[in-house]
């Protein structure tokens, strides 16, 4: 082993370890790896940043923009709308959802397709009286399977195409293998697989995770209150840390002010619409001497001279509940109606892995002041968190119950990196926008298939066209691009090439050849596919394909196996991240809404990986050898 080979192996080993460690963002780790090969001289300076102009990187960016254009045009939402008509049978629901998400994932970003259909799956689960865990894992795995069907379905396919000798793969060259494993995977998930998913029934399946009405209360500032003339912030501070209260709105002179600023000056008679559990509410009342609003009205009507403070103590907070301690249906309806006033809106949303909220707290981010957004409740691992909301440090996958203005809430959530769940309405575009989005996309595909333009050029042209016809603004186009993935690919491509130019890939291949010099072609393909799949379950699948592709090509050269066959095996393996929630963003996104634990994924993921391998290898041999 030469010194250069030792260095490149050390860089790759440390890089993979840091990917698995997951304490630094994967794009930051990739840039550190790029700097390491630059400082050690493994990659010439003039080639160091060539990855940012690599056709594969440009193609990924264009696909992300086109995906957003299709969403804005209402193309996918029109498909999703039809899913509400399929009934409550679990087998039929699983079949339909996984088929639709797989079809969409073949042409748009996997995570984008999942994000659009996840609210539909949760709604269908609740309507059927079942836990969302039944549908969400099959939905996530369906998005991974569907991405294998086309060149643009997933970044690993685009990366693998760039390694092909003598040119790139065509748009549908992946289809024979991709369609075969997708059909086999959907059949297994529909008939058997969904039964292997865990049942999370801690919360009633037909109830919302957050029962909002049960925690809403109206409080009035009484006459001569010491807090009249003070700020809302000082009122909350007076209650101390024991009372976990969220002020949803302020009602003054029969006018509702949604998400009031903490610097709002309070007046006598102001009514605060607050969210709190029973114990926090009682502490808040004791310390601030505010009154229950409905009670204050009764006091005025029956005896204006009676001390309203004593009446407040005589009537406990539980007056708003029935004998079982639960909210009456009428109270819940009244609370929901109050929330809806003034375009005030509540929605459940899940924090995406790349959200700016991850690792932050609501207090530090000042979401109320900056975004006019209230965090009403937070759930993690299927349970509502009971600690103070402003001090909760958010994790990827946390479910938030948020409140804001209806006309800006969707944009605010998108900006913060949160995906609306079951309360999200379908954003159906006009028929004209739908036709334009579909037309531009189909035209781009037709140009690629006929060979008039290469995939990067045709897809960039499609992305620009969607901006020109106002399906999205230029700013939206930039936001649609997942820059962390772009940086990852651009940084890792030179690192992967360094392994090839130093002879490191050939050295690994030769050692593998010693271990299995009498292996058949089928055995080699199984080894490459399974090895890539195991790696993609712990590191980003695009990074896994970049690392394994040079090794697979060297192994193919030594064994006289067609290079196209091993590249296809790498592509399939990179998309088989079924056994852990960290293997792919799709898996991570469904973890909290489905109430899954880390060890739940292999129960469905392992047999699905075996089935994909058994189906893929014969098809690869038939088509590519």
Q: Within this chain, do residues 9 and 43 fall inside the same structural domain, yes or no?
A: yes
Angle of helix 133-146 relative to helix 175-191, nearest 10 degrees, comes to 170
Cα distances (Å, whole numbers) of residue 602 to 115, 154, 343, 607, 613: 22, 22, 44, 8, 15
Both 66 and 11 in one domain: the answer is yes
Is the domain of 391 the same as that of 281? no
Instruction: Tally the domains of the chain.
Output: 3
The CATH number for 349's domain is: 3.30.70.1450
Would you state the pLDDT for residue 348?
80
Is pLDDT above 50 for 54? yes
224 located within any domain: yes
Same domain, 275 and 308: yes
Token look-up 């130093």 returns 502
The answer as to whether 442 is a domain residue is: no
Q: Report residue 336's pLDDT band, with 50, 70 and 90 as the boundaries.
A: very low
Q: Is 91 exposed, middle or buried (0-12, 13-18, 19+ CB in 10 A)?
A: exposed
pLDDT tens readout for residues 91-143? 998 999 999 999 989 988 787 788 778 777 877 887 777 878 888 899 999 99
Rounded mean pLDDT of the chain?
Answer: 80
Amino acid 77: pLDDT: 66
Say if residue 300 is in the same domain as residue 186. no
User: Could you tell me the pLDDT band of residue 36, with boundaries at 50, 70 and 90?
Assistant: very high
Does the structure show a pLDDT above 90 at 177? yes
Distance CA 146, CA 566 (A): 20
Q: What is the pLDDT of residue 278?
A: 63
Domain identity same for 36 and 117:
yes
Same domain, 24 and 131: yes
Coil, strand, or helix at residue 321?
Answer: strand
For residues 347 and 330, membership in a common domain is answered with: no
Owner of token pair 């949760």: 122
Q: Which of 280, 312, 336 is the last residue of a domain?
A: 336
Look at residue 432 and tell me if it is in a domain.
no
On whether residue 439 sits in a domain, the answer given is no
Q: Is the pLDDT higher at 306 or at 623?
A: 623
Residues 305 and 416 in one domain: no
pLDDT given at position 197? 85
Percent of the chain residues past pLDDT 90, beyond the cut = 20
pTM, two decimals, is 0.69
Confidence of residue 193 (pLDDT cuts 50, 70, 90): confident
Highest mean pLDDT among 310-314, 322-326, 424-428, 501-505: 501-505
Quote the CA–CA distance of 625 and 622 in Å, as a whole number: 6
Same domain, 243 and 358: no
Residue 567 lies in a domain: yes
Flag whether 443 is in a domain: no
Residue 625, judged by CB atoms within 10 A of its CB (0-12, 13-18, 19+), counts as: middle
Task: Indicate whether 5 pLDDT > 70.
Answer: yes
Domain contains 512: yes
Q: Which of the pair, 550 or 326, is modelled with greater confidence?
A: 550
117 shares its domain with 260? no
Domain finish residue from 274, 309, 336: 336
Whether 495 and 610 share a structural domain: yes
Question: What is the domain range of residue 219?
Answer: 212-336
Condensed to tens digits (0 to 9), the pLDDT of residues 219-245 reads 888 888 888 888 888 888 887 776 778
Mean pLDDT value across residues 387-401: 79
């Amino acid at each position: 082993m030469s010194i250069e080979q030792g260095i490149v192996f050390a860089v790759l080993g440390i890089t993979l370890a840091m990917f698995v460690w997951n304490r630094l963002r994967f794009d930051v780790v990739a840039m550190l790896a790029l700097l390491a090969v630059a400082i050690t001289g493994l990659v010439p300076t003039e080639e160091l940043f060539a990855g940012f102009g690599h056709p594969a990187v440009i193609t990924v960016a264009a696909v992300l923009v086109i995906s957003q254009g299709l969403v804005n045009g209402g193309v996918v939402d029109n498909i999703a709308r039809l899913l509400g008509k399929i009934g409550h049978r679990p087998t039929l629901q699983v079949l339909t959802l996984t088929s639709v998400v797989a079809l969409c994932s073949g042409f748009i970003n996997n995570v984008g397709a999942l994000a659009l259909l996840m609210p539909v799956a949760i709604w269908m689960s609740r309507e059927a009286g079942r836990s969302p865990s039944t549908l969400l894992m099959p939905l996530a795995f369906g998005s991974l399977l569907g991405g294998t069907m086309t060149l643009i379905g997933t970044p690993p396919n685009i990366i693998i195409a760039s390694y092909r000798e003598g040119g790139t793969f065509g748009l549908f060259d992946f289809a024979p293998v991709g369609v075969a494993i997708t059909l086999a995977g959907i059949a297994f998930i529909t008939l058997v697989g969904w039964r292997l998913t865990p049942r999370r029934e801690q919360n009633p399946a037909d109830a919302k995770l957050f029962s909002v009405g049960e925690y809403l209360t109206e409080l009035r500032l009484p006459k001569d209150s010491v807090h009249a003339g003070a700020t809302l912030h000082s009122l909350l501070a007076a209650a101390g840390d024991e009372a976990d209260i969220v002020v949803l709105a302020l009602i003054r002179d029969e006018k509702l002010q949604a998400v009031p600023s903490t610097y709002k000056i309070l007046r006598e008679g102001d009514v605060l619409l607050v969210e709190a559990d029973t114990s926090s509410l009682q502490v808040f009342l004791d310390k601030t001497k505010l009154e229950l609003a409905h009670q204050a009205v009764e006091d005025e009507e029956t005896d204006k001279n009676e001390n309203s403070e004593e009446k407040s103590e005589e009537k406990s907070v539980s007056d708003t509940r029935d004998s079982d301690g639960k909210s009456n249906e009428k109270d819940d309806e009244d609370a929901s109606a109050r929330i809806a006033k003034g375009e005030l809106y509540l929605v459940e949303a899940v924090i995406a892995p790349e959200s700016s909220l991850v690792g932050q707290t609501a207090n530090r981010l000042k979401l109320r002041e900056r975004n006019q957004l209230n965090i009403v409740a937070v759930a993690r691992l299927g349970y509502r968190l009971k600690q103070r909301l402003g001090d909760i440090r958010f994790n990827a996958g946390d479910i938030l119950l948020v409140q804001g203005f209806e006309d800006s809430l969707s944009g605010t959530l998108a900006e913060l990196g949160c995906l609306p769940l079951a309360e999200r309405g379908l954003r159906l575009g006009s028929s004209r926008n739908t036709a334009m989005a579909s037309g531009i996309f189909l035209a781009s595909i037709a140009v690629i298939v006929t060979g008039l333009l290469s995939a990067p050029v045709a897809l960039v042209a499609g992305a620009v066209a969607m901006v020109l016809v106002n399906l999205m603004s230029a700013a939206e186009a930039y936001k649609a691009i997942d820059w962390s993935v772009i940086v990852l690919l651009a940084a890792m491509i030179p690192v992967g090439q360094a392994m090839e130019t130093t002879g490191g890939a050939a050295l690994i291949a030769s050692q593998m050849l010693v271990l299995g010099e009498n292996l058949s072609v089928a055995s080699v393909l199984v080894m490459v596919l399974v090895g890539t799949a195991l790696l993609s379950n712990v590191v980003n699948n695009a990074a896994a394909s970049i690392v394994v592709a040079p090794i697979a090509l060297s192994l193919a050269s030594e064994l006289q196996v067609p290079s196209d066959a091993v590249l296809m095996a790498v592509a399939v393996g990179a998309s088989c991240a079924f056994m852990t929630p960290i293997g792919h963003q799709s898996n991570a996104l469904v973890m909290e809404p489905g109430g899954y634990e880390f060890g739940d994924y292999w129960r469905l993921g392992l047999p699905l990986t075996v089935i994909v391998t058994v189906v893929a290898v014969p098809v690869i041999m038939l088509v590519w050898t």
